Structure 1
Amino acid sequence: MPGNSMISKQSFDVQTANILREMIVTGSLEAGSRLTEAKLTEQFHVSRGTIRAALQKLNNEGLVSQVPYTGWHVIALDAQDAWELHNLRRVLDGLAARLTAERIEPEGAKKLEDAYQKLCGLCDSGDPRDIADADFELHKLIVALSGHRRLQEHYTLTEQQIRVFIASCDSEFSDYKNIGKRHGPLIKAILSGDADTAERLAKEHNATQGDELISSLRQLETQ
């Protein structure tokens, strides 16, 4: 396990959860794969209690599940999961975009523009995983700029599942260079203070990819 030898056990829990989370979200750990405490203990050179605590944290985030007598498994989005996350995200992102457009200030506008330009830059030459991360961070920033504390709390409850959903949607969109450009009208509406347009575009954003992902999963489930 990387890190200073003086780091507390609690920090090891957090570090282990952070590493596993990134492996799940980026696909390094495949959806549905089995996780054993013994193997993870050996892999990360930490105690089984640390592994168990990390897995429990990820379970609370909806990224892993514990199946009686078989152990832990990485989340595998089914059509119902994708449908729920798709609709929940539309509502949360729509409200966040409206509120942010209504209260956007120069400092927030600069952060938003920087995040947008970072995404566009990655689309020109970046790795699909980095693009998905930048995509998520841009939407998360819009939520943060909304100034709505309870909205941020609800977003946090499902944000890791939303990261998985965004990565899955982006995988349905083979032309990665256009992912950044598709955010352009939404960012423009927010920066101009056009709340109605910002909310509409946020709700419509990724609708096609979300629908395609749900359709693909439904087809797989009927095979």
Structure 2
Amino acid sequence: MPEEARPGSGEQAKQYALGRLRESILRGGMAPAQRLVENELAEQYGVTRASIRAALLDLASEGLVERIRNRGSRVRVVTIEEAVEITECRMALEGLCAAKAAEVATDAQIDELTDLGKAMSEAVAGGDPVSYSELNHELHTLIRVVSGQRTAVALLERLNAQLVRHRFQLALRPGRPRQSLSEHLAVVDAISARDPRAAEGAVRAHLSSVIDALRDD
């Protein structure tokens, strides 16, 4: 990797380490409760230990890392109870975004949402839960972007980062993608019909189903 892409110290080094660590946690490269040893990470990423420590502090504020007194840091474990609480918060915020999207979506954006729905249907028909999980994430992201509700989007990005492991596990559960698909298509249909109330209701119904699935875990 070019040297300029791996600055050894300073703000750039912290931001580089922060990006790499965040990506590794979100993509499952680092397991829940895994210890994060500053010296090892500094060597791995080619930055100073101070840069790693600063990055870990930022990740702790995002809820991805847990700082343990006199024991350093570890990847934070999100319990089922916490995942349910986070999803309850998502219900209000994502419902708002869906309602806004139904009000303001352009024809091109509705076409994009429809295409994602079709791709999700194909992933379920093809028995590809990993692709389905990725498309699921893309759909929720697009709805938030279309909504233009920047405050809700910022809050959701922080909440959703903590649910990556649970979301992926649900996608792999037998039968879950097929059930989830119909719920997502209902959201797309409501936005396409430019019906804010129906869009919000469809999102709430979907996330209520997610909560039920989490509690069955």
TM-score by length of structure 1 reads 0.81
For the aligned residue pairs, the C-alpha RMSD in angstroms reads: 2.5
Q: Which moved more, 1:36-45 or 1:18-27?
A: 18-27
CA distance in 1, matches of 2:129, 2:11: 32
User: What is the aligned partner in structure 1 of residue 38 from structure 2?
Assistant: 37
How many aligned positions are there?
Answer: 212
Q: What is the identity percentage for the equivalent residue pairs of Structure 1 and Structure 2?
A: 25
Q: 8 Å contact 1:89–1:162 — kept in the other structure? A: no
**SS of the counterpart of 1:183?**
helix
Question: In the TM superposition, what is the alpha-carbon distance from 1:149 to its structure 2 partner?
Answer: 2.5
Question: In the TM superposition, what is the alpha-carbon distance from 1:197 to its structure 2 partner?
Answer: 1.6
Question: In the TM superposition, what is the alpha-carbon distance from 1:118 to its structure 2 partner?
Answer: 4.3
CA distance in 1, matches of 2:50, 2:203: 42
User: What is the aligned partner in structure 2 of residue 97 from structure 1?
Assistant: 98
Is residue 2:61 matched to residue 1:60?
yes
Equivalent residue runs for 1:21-36 within 5 Å: 21-36=22-37
When residues 13 and 105 of structure 1 are mapped into structure 2, their CA distance, relative to the original with a 3 A threshold, is same
CA offsets per residue over residues 76-113 of structure 1, 9 Å max, x none?
11133112111011111111111111222123223323
When residues 158 and 41 of structure 1 are mapped into structure 2, their CA distance, relative to the original with a 3 A threshold, is same
When residues 141 and 28 of structure 1 are mapped into structure 2, their CA distance, relative to the original with a 3 A threshold, is same
Q: Any unmatched runs of 5+ in structure 2?
A: none
User: What is the aligned partner in structure 2 of residue 174 from structure 1?
Assistant: 174
Amino acid at match of 1:53: A
Q: 8 Å contact 2:129–2:177 — kept in the other structure? A: no
User: What is the aligned partner in structure 2 of residue 6 from structure 1?
Assistant: 4
Q: Which moved more, 1:19-28 or 1:32-41?
A: 19-28
When residues 18 and 127 of structure 1 are mapped into structure 2, their CA distance, relative to the original with a 3 A threshold, is farther
Question: In the TM superposition, what is the alpha-carbon distance from 1:176 to its structure 2 partner?
Answer: 6.3
CA distance in 2, matches of 1:117, 1:49: 47
Is residue 2:199 matched to residue 1:201?
no
**SS of the counterpart of 1:205?**
helix
When residues 192 and 149 of structure 1 are mapped into structure 2, their CA distance, relative to the original with a 3 A threshold, is same
When residues 57 and 119 of structure 1 are mapped into structure 2, their CA distance, relative to the original with a 3 A threshold, is farther
CA distance in 2, matches of 1:119, 1:5: 40
Q: 8 Å contact 2:132–2:177 — kept in the other structure? A: no
CA distance in 1, matches of 2:127, 2:215: 28
Question: In the TM superposition, what is the alpha-carbon distance from 1:133 to its structure 2 partner?
Answer: 3.3
Amino acid at match of 2:101: T
Question: In the TM superposition, what is the alpha-carbon distance from 1:120 to its structure 2 partner?
Answer: 4.1
User: What is the aligned partner in structure 2 of residue 138 from structure 1?
Assistant: 139
Q: 8 Å contact 1:132–1:167 — kept in the other structure? A: yes
Question: In the TM superposition, what is the alpha-carbon distance from 1:47 to its structure 2 partner?
Answer: 1.6
**SS of the counterpart of 1:211?**
helix
**SS of the counterpart of 2:50?**
helix
TM-score by length of structure 2 reads 0.83
When residues 159 and 14 of structure 1 are mapped into structure 2, their CA distance, relative to the original with a 3 A threshold, is farther
